[in-house]
Amino acid sequence: MDPLSEAFQHHTWATERLIRHLRGLPEGALTATATGVYGEVLATLSHLLFADGRYLSYLEGNPPPPRSGADPTRPLDELADQLRDHAVRWRVVLPRLGEIDVTLPVRGDRPELPHATNLLVVQALHHGNDHRTQICTVLSTAGYEAPNLDVWAYWMDRRRDPSS
């Protein structure tokens, strides 16, 4: 597997593992928050997945409508479904990146950004890691165990079960 595809395998693996972990925690864990993070655990996870969907839509040539307000908070089952869909879409879009040229429209005080394909790809990975880390920080700060989502854990898990 090429390195970029492996990075996105980790991206989806880590989010799926986080969802699995959250299912085993009490409701209070899903509404926990801390200073300096996006928001409550479930709202942060919802935002992560909605943003991924927007990045994918741009890369697939179907720019999403402009956002109005915060991303809606969704239940874990819906987020798991959304993640499965994204995993397939990433596998389809990544091999085609050389053929894709995205221009991001003006947004607020940000100018139009031509040739932004690489920006979206790198942002998707960074954004996912950032928010998964925030969620783990909130969990541990609130007294809940946080899952190990780092690349080392992914690598060892993939070697134990290549189908994961």
Token duo for residue 155: 């690598």
Domain-embedded: residue 162 = no
Strand (E) or helix (H) holding 32: none
Supply the CATH number for residue 39's domain: 1.20.120.450
Domain-embedded: residue 95 = yes
Global confidence as pTM: 0.95
Domain-embedded: residue 161 = no
Domain-embedded: residue 107 = yes
Domain-embedded: residue 156 = no
Domain-embedded: residue 10 = yes
Region 24-42: mean pLDDT is 98
Residue range 127-144, pLDDT digits in tens: 999 999 999 999 999 999
- To the nearest 10 degrees (0 to 180), the angle between helices 3-23 and 117-141 is 30
Domain-embedded: residue 158 = no
Region 151-162: mean pLDDT is 92
Domain-embedded: residue 160 = no
Instruction: Please give the angle made by the CA atoms of 4, 82 and 8, to the nearest 5 degrees.
Output: 10
The number of folded domains in the chain is 1
CA dihedral 64, 65, 68, 69 (to 10 degrees): -10
Residue range 63-92, pLDDT digits in tens: 998 888 999 999 999 999 999 999 999 999
Which long-range contacts (C-beta less than 8 Å, at least 24 apart) are formed by 69-73? 70/43, 71/43, 71/46, 71/47, 72/46, 73/40, 73/42, 73/43, 73/46
For residue 145, give its domain range: 3-151
